[in-house]
Amino acid sequence: MDFFKSFKGGHSIAQDEAYTSHPGPPPVREPTYQPPPGPPPPHQCHNHSAHVPLPAGNEYAPPPDPPPGWQKTPSETPPAPPDGDEEPPPYYDWTVVPDNSLLPPPPALGHEKSPSSNANLSDADRAHEWCRINSMVRPHQPTHPQHSAVLNGDVRLLKPPEYKGDLLMPNTGLWKGSTRAGSKDSCLLTSSPIYFAYVDYPLRTRNTKTIYFEVKVRSLGRGRGADESSIALGYCAMPYPTWRLPGWERGSLAVHGDDGRRYVNNTWGGKEFTSPIKAGDTVGLGMTFALADSLPGYEAQPKSETMAKVKVFLTRNGRRGEDWDLHEELDKDEDLSIDGLDGHFDLHGAIGTFGGIDFDASFNRRDWLWQPR
């Protein structure tokens, strides 16, 4: 009987013999049904919709309506059609890469210190405290003779107490200076502004204004201090601590000859700009104040509708060279503001010196190697 053991899903031969050897009707077997091949006949919807056509193959189409109890979330609700003749908003393709040339340049990298000469820390602390006590002076209306003298190049230089050397004016607007070896930092300032906010600001005059002067370096370094001598060209709002080079304290900017870096209210190491200034070079520093239809909204700059566009540029040996936009984007963590330099304050010419140098400074156009167009 083991040979006739039943298998799963069927029945054994011994069961068939039992049906024929016993009298009486055979036991009733429950019929088994198999589904017909193929999909069911087309299904009709019992609503107001038309018949739903069957998809190709053996797939079944979902019902046309959402399941019971389903509600749209606000984000899934399509916007209402525009009223009247209004056009729908244009489609924005997020896969398109924007044109980086239209973006403002990133802020220039600053340095913690200069690679050449650095000032004494006590002098810096004293200057910071001095600037905190002495705030910048508001601009004043120049007299007609005062303004005419500056336009004609008749500009005087003041010798501060820290300046150790000679300073002579052989001609109108031309100055010859010589400092002793080992001289400390000092800042020569013009006695009068060479930019008057009241009469030169382009939003008031509707004209472009450029200020400029040149310095010829006749010699750099004498005696034991030969390696620690240089010059700086800049502009300052008043008052300014004269034992500090221009560009280091508030309301000032400058290009320093020892490292070629530019400084804007920067008491640290400045930013890369040009090559160092050497003996025999004639360098000039200018600022151009112009009308601007719109200025880029740089993150670290003040937003103002009354700003002028300001460009600072350098010339060397009669040729215009590097420049920078005063309203460039600034680093919030490292850079100070451009307060005092954007055309709202009077600006004086400034020449910083340290060590033993010989130089000529010219504020009269007739003596310049570079001639503005």
Residue 16: predicted pLDDT: 44
Averaged pLDDT for residues 29-56 = 55
Averaged pLDDT for residues 352-358 = 95
Name the strand (E) or helix (H) holding 132.
Answer: helix 121-133
Question: pLDDT digit string (tens) for 167-202?
Answer: 999 999 999 999 999 899 999 999 999 999 999 999
Question: pLDDT digit string (tens) for 304-325?
Answer: 445 789 999 999 999 999 999 9
Question: pLDDT digit string (tens) for 118-161?
Answer: 667 899 999 999 999 999 999 999 999 999 999 999 999 999 99
Question: pLDDT digit string (tens) for 149-167?
Answer: 999 999 999 999 999 999 9
Residue 8: predicted pLDDT: 37
Question: pLDDT digit string (tens) for 206-259?
Answer: 999 999 999 999 999 865 545 589 999 999 999 999 999 999 999 999 999 999
Name the β-bridge partners of 349.
235
CA distance 186 to 78: 71
Region of residue 127 (left: phi > 0; alpha: psi -120 to 50; beta: else): alpha
Per-domain residue ranges of the chain: 121-367
Name the β-bridge partners of 212.
286
Question: pTM (2 decimals)?
Answer: 0.68
When the candidates are 3.20.10.10, 1.10.1060.10, 3.90.79.10, 2.60.120.920, the CATH number that belongs to 121-367 is 2.60.120.920
CA distance 12 to 121: 108
Q: Mean pLDDT, the chain, as a whole number?
A: 79
Burial class from Cβ neighbours inside 10 Å (0-12, 13-18, 19+) for residue 87 reads exposed
